[in-house]
Every structure is written in structure tokens, then in C-alpha cells.
Amino acid sequence: MIDLHSHVLPGIDDGAATIEESLGIARAAVADGIAVLAATPHVREDYPITAATMERLLGDVQAAVAAAGIPLRVVGGGELSLEMVAGLPFEEVRRFGLAGNPGYVLVETPYRGWPLEIEQRLFELRTNGIVPVLAHPERNGEVQAHPERLERLVAAGTLVQVTAASLDGRLGRRARTCGLDLIGRGFAHLLASDAHTATVREIGMSAAAAAVGDRELADWLTVGVPGAILRGEPVPPRPQGRPRGLLGRLRQR
């Protein structure tokens, strides 16, 4: 699997504090079946990270992972707030390109409220040749109450990432139901761990993939789409399967 959202870089945000903790996340990722992990530190007012700092720490983690013999490819990125999307030069935004791809950037969904400017900010990215990937909207209360809010964004070209811990229930019933609903509606394109440590908000990608209830669709969410972003290829079409369990019931709405 390919995991395009983690906070593996040390001492830069609320994720790994030390290089040893970074290695712990890397080992946990491999144990969960992940071959590629994107380092996507927060880029927002409380963590005003520069692309140069991300790139330097990414190099440190890549070197440490290789020295430790961990079979994991670590690639770059950033999780940008809407304020940073508006405030940073687009050249800087591209340096935070998801999986090192300057044509994609991970944008953080606020946990509370629904910003009036979100559609405009994502539109500005697209008009500058950058595809926005909206991180964890299933954890936003407004989206939980009105998942159709994402319809216009997705139709306009935004991709959506659902967090693994939402699907396997670690983040509560509302996040799980909403995450599965977004997948069932065709409003989600990637699963990712958003891992902050090896043991808290841990990887959990394999359990989340199983929760989808459709092997082909789970592969699309964890390999097909993130792999296309990684390689700079067109996103493959969504498979048409018949998932079982809760996701299957949600699709029949």
C-alpha cells in the first residue's frame, strides 16, 4: 500500500518528536503493509513550516530509514491549511507537492465549521495547475451532517483523502459512518494513515482497507490512486464493485 499522509518528520509539528520516533512510525508502516510513506507536516499558523525545512528533514529521515534497513520509501509533501494556500507563493506550494509531485497538494480540512472560502481556495490551486487533495473531511462536523457539501468540490476536480482511523472506528462512530458514506457516494479517492506516532493514531491502513468491504475498491484507494500521484500518471478510473456490510448499505441509499 501507499500512504500519502503522515507526520513522520521529527520535531516539526505534533507528530514524531525525534528521529527515533520517526523510525518507529516507519517500522509500523512496513508492518502494516505500506511500501511508500509521504511525510506531510502541518503547514499552518501554529506550524509555519517552510519547504526548505521539510526538504531538509525529509533527507534526514530518508537517510535514517536506509541506515536502519527499513524497507520503506519516504517521500515529501505537506498538509497545508487554507490560510497557507492563500498566503504562500505558488512556487512554495509546489515544493510541498504530495509525494514529491508538484501537481498535487494536501489541504487540511478544518475540524469545525465549513469555511466560506474553501471553494475559492481550491479553485485557485486548480487554475494554477495544482490538484487539491482534501484531507480527512469525514472528521468535520459539517461534512458529517451534510456530506453533499463535497459534491461540487469533487465534481470540479478536488480529490478527497479519508483517514484510516475513521474507517476502523478509532475516531468514533460519526467519523466512521461519514467516511464510509463518502466512499459509497464516490466522494473519496485515497485512504491514508495521518499517523502521528507508531502507537497513537497509528497506521491502521490494512484494517481500514478491510473495512471498505470491497477488495478492488480498497486497492484503488490505497494503491491505484496514490500510486498514480506518486508516479505522475493519470488517476485510474474508480472500479465498480459491490461492497459488503455498512458501505454496501450506504451505497444503496
Give residue-wise pLDDT tens across range 15-57. Answer: 999 999 999 999 999 999 999 999 999 999 999 999 999 999 9
Q: Which helix (H) or strand (E) holds 136?
A: none
pLDDT digits (tens, 9 = 90+) for 203-249: 789 999 999 999 999 999 999 999 999 999 999 999 986 554 455 54
Q: Is the pTM of this model over 0.75?
A: yes
CA dist., res. 206 & res. 194, Å (int): 14
CA dist., res. 23 & res. 15, Å (int): 12
CA dist., res. 30 & res. 55, Å (int): 22
Three-class SS of residue 133? strand
Catalogue all structural domains in the chain, each as residue range(s) with its CATH number. Answer: 2-251 (3.20.20.140)
Residue pair 203/34 in contact by the 8 Å Cβ criterion: yes
pLDDT digits (tens, 9 = 90+) for 150-178: 999 999 999 999 999 999 898 999 999 99
**pLDDT tops 50 at residue 143:** yes
CA angle, residues 165, 99, 200, in degrees to nearest 5: 25
Q: Quote the pLDDT of residue 202.
A: 60
CA dist., res. 158 & res. 145, Å (int): 20
Q: Quote the pLDDT of residue 198.
A: 84
Cell, residue 128? 494554477
Residue pair 77/40 in contact by the 8 Å Cβ criterion: yes
Q: Quote the pLDDT of residue 248.
A: 53
